[in-house]
Chain A
Amino acid sequence: MNALAPRLDAARAEAPVGTPGGAPAVSLAAQVAADFPILTRRVRDKRLVYLDNAATTHKPEAVIEAERAFYRESNANIHRGVHWLSQHATDLYEGARERVQRFLNAARSEEIVFTRGTTEAINLVAWSWGRANLKPGDEILVTGMEHHSNIVPWQLVCEQTGAVLKAVPLTDRGELEPGAFEAMLGPRTRLAAIVHVSNALGTVNPVAAMIERAHAAGALVLVDGAQAVAHQAVDVQALGCDFYAFSGHKLYGPTGIGALYARHELLAAMPPWQGGGDMIRTVSFEGSTWADPPARFEAGTPNIAGGVGLAAAIDYVTGIGLPRIAAHEHALLEYATEAALRIPGLRLIGTAPGKTGILSFMVEGIHPHDLGTILDAEGVAIRAGHHCAMPVMTRFGIPGTARASLAIYNDERDIDALMAAIRGAQRMFGTGARP
């Protein structure tokens, strides 16, 4: 792990502070690309142009090495062993929790529950808080740009409790309809479950203002931060949210690990949602009592190595600095947007100002799925389809989009390769500019 530190330090020392539209966008990618072993492999006999970062990001050597080192040097089960190695593994895992706490600026580490990812974090709130608190006629308010993972858990819990799910409509630019969120917050709204950054559109929602409005209306707020935490600094205390969910694997960390932040007084009042070891205080056949949070919500042996890997990913990202990452991706998005708009027949889906690095688009006469296959043959990896956000596609009246999503290691060359491949597809299909 430590062997990698100098490279990153050197990168920081050399790099000017990022300014939107300037050259630093290139330099960040150039400096970090060597940290990601997978970027050197060839795909389809071509240089890998990986633009599917909203699906999952690649992992830097520091993360890969942290997991490997855990299994080689520190592996044991946690919270139960009297032996040294178990205590050592427990310290690493709880140290990871403190890293997540500082990363989100939570008030205390007990407010961080490890989960498999964002999806499980939202399900935890739905099944634990939702089933305990929702009554027939109560309302859950989501937005029209939610990922399925922030829709379906609420539908399931609504079926059980008689609560009702409502969704805030979107504008043609892919923003929330002005005033609609406030108007839809009613006396029966118990929870607003809102996405911080849309995975299909790149729209950044004004969550701080929305949280304030929701609280004023007496509703709690859960924020789905899956697409936010790798691209901008998040401070849950400044936001004032009640729940915040994110995944490690979209943050340069391992798959199968993520976290739920929840205000302590909420967690303390919430019942368990899964039973097993580690989440109990006492067990007898007459009944059991529950451990305090966060253990109450972490039944069974968790993904210990994943937690350690996530901590390494957080260290990596914060080492570079989220403001610098945001500046890099913003500059690259501007470059990509300008290049995309020069392609005849290309239509952007999601044109809100201040988007994150997500470029969702349609190319006239070419279905997104065909485009995905043709780009793949050029080594350009994008996502084609509904991006687990079918209501967004329905809103825009399209079957799906092609989506390029950016990360710290992408640069102008990747965008140029994408645009060249799109033009190649147009030549194949006989669409676009006529020669």
Chain B
Amino acid sequence: MSLSRGDLRELYQEVIFDHNRSPRNFHEMEHPDRVAEGHNPLCGDQLTLYVRLDKGVVADASFVGHGCAISTASASLMTEAVKGHTVEEVEALFRDFHALLTDAAPPGRDFGKLEVLAGVKEFPVRVKCATLAWHTLHNALIGAGDPAKTE
């Protein structure tokens, strides 16, 4: 496969650098309803995700941990994107987001800022970086005890 500098720029957009340097909602949570661990053993990415739920709605989400720019930015963008949405809406968004990165985006779906991660599609080995936070969130929402792994 030929890969251009343009593809690389698609992957590493300014929004990604911004969220990597200054991740949003990057803190522990005082009284979370759900906590989940995520780990990507291949690259050592590790995060802890906190969620506060209010009547089936994600009232707040935050995370701590360390990882590559793609995984950090994706976690940061995710915590922004899911706040105020019902658990069902968040799970549907994860499915569509995963499709955006691996297959084809469902037509008509507005991803908002998450769209900047679409460039990952050209880098299959990096999909797990972009989805680690989402897998962890999924585990937090379904109450799974085991750490999420993207390996």
* Chain A positions near chain B (C-beta within 8 angstroms): 44-45, 366-370, 373-374, 376-377, 384-386, 393, 398-400, 428-430
- Please name 13 pairs of A and B residues whose Cβ atoms are closer than 8 Å in the assembled complex, sorted by A: A368-B43, A369-B70, A369-B126, A370-B70, A373-B123, A373-B126, A374-B8, A374-B12, A376-B3, A377-B5, A377-B7, A398-B44, A429-B12
User: Which one of B4, B12, B42, B67 contacts A385 once the chains associate, using CB atoms below 8 Å?
Assistant: B42
Interface: B82 (CB within 8 A): no
**CB proximity of B137 to chain A, nearest CB, Å:** 21
Given A367-B67, A377-B3, A428-B12, residue A386 in contact with residue B17 (CB < 8 A): no
Additional A-B contacts beyond A373-B123, A376-B3 (10; CB < 8 A): A44-B1, A45-B2, A366-B69, A367-B68, A369-B43, A377-B3, A385-B43, A385-B44, A428-B12, A429-B17
Given the contacts A367-B69, A430-B17, A44 and B44 also touching, CB distance less than 8 Å: no
Contact A384 B7 (CB under 8 A): no
Nearest 6 CB-CB pairings of A with B: A399-B44, A367-B68, A369-B68, A369-B43, A44-B3, A45-B2
Given A45-B2, A367-B67, A399-B66, CB of A386 within 8 Å of CB of B8: no
Assembled-state Cα–Cα distance A84/B66 (Å): 62
Determine which of A44, A386, A398, A430 lies in contact with B2 in the assembled complex, contact meaning CB atoms within 8 Å: A44
B36 interface contact, C-beta 8 A: no
- Chain B 45-83 interface residues, beta-carbon cutoff 8 Å to A: 45-46, 66-70
| A residues in contact with B43, CB < 8 Å | 367-369, 384-385, 399-400
Q: Which residues of A contact B42 (CB under 8 A)?
A: 385-386
CA–CA, A400 to B5, complex, Å?
A: 25
B12 to chain A, nearest CB (A): 6
A18 to chain B, nearest CB (A): 36
A400/B12 in contact, CB under 8 A: no
B141 within 8 A of A: no
- Across-interface contacts of A377 in B (CB, < 8 A): 3, 5, 7-8
Q: Does residue B11 face the partner (Cβ distance < 8 Å to A)?
A: yes
Residue count of chain B within 8 Å CB distance of chain A? 25
Q: Which of B44, B69, B129 contacts A400 (CB 8 A)?
A: B44
B69: nearest chain-A partner, CB-CB? A370
- Within B67-116, the residues touching A (CB, 8 Å) are 67-70
Within 8 A of A (CB), among B9-61: 11-12, 17, 41-46
Residue numbers in A under 8 Å from B41 (CB-CB): 386
A373 neighbours in B (Cβ, 8 Å): 8, 11, 123, 125-126
Q: How far is the CB of B123 from chain A (nearest CB, A)?
A: 6
Closest Cβ neighbor of A377 among chain B residues: B8
CB distance from A432 to the nearest CB of B (A): 14
B1, B8, B46, B123, most chain A CB atoms within 10 A: B8
B96 shortest CB reach to chain A, Å? 24
In chain B, what residue has the closest Cβ to A371? B68
Bound complex: CA A398 to CA B12 (Å): 23
CA distance A369 to B129 in the complex (A): 9
A386–B46 CA distance with the chains assembled, in angstroms: 13
CA distance A376 to B68 in the complex (A): 16
Chain A residues with Cβ below 8 Å from B8 are: 373-374, 377, 428
A373 and B123 alpha carbons, distance in the complex (Å): 8
Q: A368-B43, A400-B43 are in contact. Are A45 and B66 (CB under 8 A)?
A: no
Determine how close the nearest CB of chain B comes to the CB of A209; give it in whole angstroms. 34
What residues on A are CB-neighbors of B7 within 8 Å?
Answer: 377
